[in-house]
Structure 1
Amino acid sequence: MSERERIAARIRALRAKTVENGCTEAEAMAAAEKLAQLLADYNMTMDEADLRASPFGDHVHDAAGTVALKLWKPASAIAKLTNTRYWTGGRAAPTRITFVGLTHEVEIAAYLLAICERAMRTESAAIMHAVRRLPHIKQAARVMPFLDGMADRLAARIRAMIPPQPTGRGLVVLRNALITEELARRGVEIETGSARRPMNWGAYRDGQRAGDGVALNPGVAATSAARALR
C-alpha cells in the first residue's frame, strides 16, 4: 500500500468517527479537525479518498466463431463508456476479451458486451441461413462485412452514450492512474491494433441497420449510465 493509499484509509476512518457512530462530541470534533488537516496537507479530497477504497475487478468473456472476430469493436466502445480497460487474446483463447476496472463498472461492461454478442449471433445466424447454399467463400463474403457493419454501428451507439466529462477532471485522471497501477500489478501491457476495411459495402450497410435495431439500454440508458459511471 502506498503512502497516499494509507492516508486515504486514515481519512475514511476519521470520517467514521461521529456521534452517531458512538463517539463523544469532543472525539468527533477532534477527528473532524484531524481529517481537515490531512486533506489540506496531502491536497486530497474526500472523493479521492473514497475512490482509492473502491475495489478493482475483472471480467473474462470467451467467444467463438465469426462473431468473436468482430466483438472487439463494441468492446472498445464499452471500455470507454465504463471507464475500464480491455484487451483481446490470450494463451487460452484467441477470442477472449478481458475488462479490468472498478468492480461496478466492469459489471456494466460485461452486461453490455453480452447484449452485443447475443444480437450479433442472432442476426448473423439469419444471414448464414439465407446463404447456406452458397460456397463457403461466398458465405464469408456476405457475413463478415455484415458483422463489420453491425459491430461498428453498435460501437458508435455505445460511444454516443458516454456522458459529458465533468468540469473538474481530477477524478478522471486519478481513476485512469489507479487502473494503470492495477494493470501494472497484474503484469498486463495493452497494445493497440488495427482493423481491415470491409469489401462488400451493401452487406456492411445491412449490418449497420441491424445494429440500429438492438436494444442496448434496458437499464443502461444514457442518463442512468451517466449517474453510474461518473
Structure 2
Amino acid sequence: MQPRQQTELEKVKARIRALAAKTTDRGCSEAEAMLAAQKVGELLEVYGLGMSEVELREEACIQREVVITGARLQAVGIIFMAILRLTETRGWMVGRSQFVVFGLEPDVLMGEYLLHVVAGAVDHEETLFRASESYRRSRLAPQQRLRSFRYGFAERVSDRLDELAAHRRASEEAAHATSGAGTALVVAKEARLSEAFRGLGIRLRSRTTTRRVSDGAAFRQGVAAGGRVGLERPVGAGAAAPALPRPRR
C-alpha cells in the first residue's frame, strides 16, 4: 500500500469508529443516530473500494460483544443473522443475551451499531403497539400478542437487511467490474476471515427455534413497524443511491 493511500484509509476507518459510536444508547438522538448510520455506510463503501487484495490480507480482524436483555432479545435474536450477512462478518451468541460480531474492523463496528439501532427500535415500536387500539381489543394473552408482533417486526427488518446486503454486493461488483478484481477480493476477504476465525479456536453449534404466530393482526403490525426502522443506506450505498421504499400505509 502506498503511504498516501494508507493514510487515507486510516482516516476513513477513524471516522467509521467515531460515527459507529453514535447510538441512542449512548445519549445520541434518534435523528442523529440515523444520520450517523447513513454516513457510516458511505464511508464503508469508500473503505471497501479503496482496498486491494494485498491490503485485505493484512487487515486485522476484531470482535465486539453486545449485550441485549429484556423482551427485545426475542426480535434481535432473529435479526442477528441478517446483520451478519449484511456486514459480511461472522457471529455467535454466548449464553442467551451476548452477541459477538467478528470480522474486519469497519464491518464489525457497523454490525455492533446495527444491533443497538435494532434493539432501540424494538423498544420504541413495541411501546407504540402496546398503546394501540388493536392491542387493547385483542382477546389473546398479552405475551401471545407481543410475541407475534416481535416476530413480524423481526421478519420485516431481516428482509430489509437482506435487500441492503444484495445492494451492497451489486455495488461492489459493479465498481470492480472494470478492473476484474471483484471476484478476487471476495475470495480474499472470505479467506482472511476464515483464517482469522480458525485462530480463535472456537467451534460453533447451530441452534434452531420454533416460532408460532398466535395473533395474525399483531404480526402484521410488527411487519409494518419493521418497515419504519431507519435502515436506508446503512452499508454500501453512497449518497446517490436510492433509499428503500417505505411501506404503504
Separation in structure 1 between the aligned mates of residue 235 and residue 193 of structure 2, nearest angstrom: 25
* TM-score (normalised: structure 1): 0.68
Cα offset, 1:49, TM superposition: 1.2
Larger radius of gyration: 1
Does residue 222 of structure 2 align to residue 207 of structure 1? yes
Separation in structure 2 between the aligned mates of residue 221 and residue 187 of structure 1, nearest angstrom: 29
Separation in structure 1 between the aligned mates of residue 199 and residue 235 of structure 2, nearest angstrom: 33
* TM-score (normalised: structure 2): 0.63
Letter in 2 for 1:190: L
Query: Which 4+ residue blocks in structure 1 deviate beyond 6 angstroms?
Result: none
Does residue 72 of structure 2 align to residue 67 of structure 1? yes
**Is the CA contact 2:75–2:153 (under 8 Å) kept in the aligned structure 1?**
no
Cα offset, 1:54, TM superposition: 1.0
Cα offset, 1:129, TM superposition: 5.5
Which of 123, 126, 145 is the equivalent residue of 2:128? 126
Separation in structure 2 between the aligned mates of residue 170 and residue 221 of structure 1, nearest angstrom: 21
Cα offset, 1:126, TM superposition: 3.4
Does residue 91 of structure 2 align to residue 86 of structure 1? yes
Alignment of structure 1 residues 1-230 onto 2, 5 Å = 12=1, 47-90=52-95, 94-128=96-130, 138-162=141-165, 163=168, 164=170, 166=173, 168-197=182-211, 198-217=213-232, 220=234, 223-224=237-238
1:57-99 CA-partner distances (Å, limit 9, x unpaired): 1111101112112212222111111110111233xxx211110
Letter in 1 for 2:199: R
Identity %: 25
Secondary structure of 1:76 counterpart: helix
Give the RMSD, CA atoms, in angstroms: 2.8
Cα offset, 1:184, TM superposition: 1.6
Unaligned stretches of 5+ in structure 2? 4-50, 242-249
Secondary structure of 1:66 counterpart: coil
